[in-house]
Amino acid sequence: MSIVVDSHQHFWDPALADYPWMTDAVAPIRRRYMPADLRPRLAAAGVDYTLVVQARSDVQETRELLRLAADTDFIAGVVGWVDLTSPDLADTIDQLRELEGGAKLVGIRHQVHDESDERWLLGDDVLRGLRIVQDAGLAYDLLVRTRELPAALRVARTLDSLRFIIDHIAKPPIRTRETIEWAEALAPFAGLTNVFCKISGMVTEADWKDWRTEDLKPYVERVYEWFGEGRCLFGSDWPVCLLAASYQQVLDACRAALGPLPPRARARVFGENAISVYRLPVSSPREGAPCSPTA
């Protein structure tokens, strides 16, 4: 059996830290979520490992996630936050790697779609920071919408040795079923072999109370056409997904939207690609066989 990796989930405790995006609109998930909450869902769904991803712009959260990862067997890696514009960025990354769990730091992310400047990624200080991320051997998650995709495209072409992963298929307007502007902006990434795409975060871009797998399929089919079996990754976006669906419902919807993939392609999308792009040194708990990451 192939290793299954959820490439995108979160942990948080809003009683201990501020999450500006946690407004009343997302009140149902404005509570503590920790590994004990997720473990039974992973077991029921047959998921072996996860990547935990930052949810606030604070390096202290990255430290906390690394400590959680050190104590949690199913967390294969951490995609944390650092200040890309800091002159001390290289030292910060080195310090994070020296912490307990620091070996599980595999990527960096910033909430780019919350920046007022749609060209934020093209700033000189940001590009300098991304080069440091590249030199550190880390991946970079692109949290963007259609508005920021042109800048992201320029950056991905410029830094062609940095592994970029587009989160949540760039958050298309699934609720309104619009595709044209999003597709025109995302399609050019198809030719960039250093860019991957997470099939994640879709149910919360759809109608939370009345979505169907058929609503997701036009977007998933295009993403799979552009990125193929070698550059698509499954992600649950748990617990954000709980606004619209359970963990199992998200996994089932992703599988259904992709359709009847050959076994090899399914293994890559639901595990092997995450292991490769994030360079995860993991082994299958169901088989005990090592799975070595590729560059």
CATH of the domain at 39: 3.20.20.140
User: Residue 29: what residue type?
Assistant: I
Tens of pLDDT, residue by residue, the chain (295 residues)? 699 999 999 999 999 999 999 999 999 999 999 999 999 999 999 999 999 999 999 999 999 999 999 999 999 999 999 999 999 999 999 999 999 999 999 999 999 999 999 999 999 999 999 999 999 999 999 999 999 999 999 999 999 999 999 999 999 999 999 999 999 999 999 999 999 999 999 999 999 999 999 999 999 999 999 999 999 999 999 999 999 999 999 999 999 999 999 999 999 999 999 999 999 988 655 544 444 443 3
C-alpha–C-alpha distance, residues 219 and 237, integer Å: 17
Number of domains in the chain: 1
Give the range of the structural domain holding residue 29, as residue numbers without chain letter. Answer: 5-291
Q: 3-class DSSP state for residue 150?
A: helix
C-alpha–C-alpha distance, residues 123 and 222, integer Å: 30
C-alpha–C-alpha distance, residues 13 and 32, integer Å: 4
Q: Please give the pLDDT value at position 285.
A: 53
Radius of gyration, CA atoms only, the chain: 18
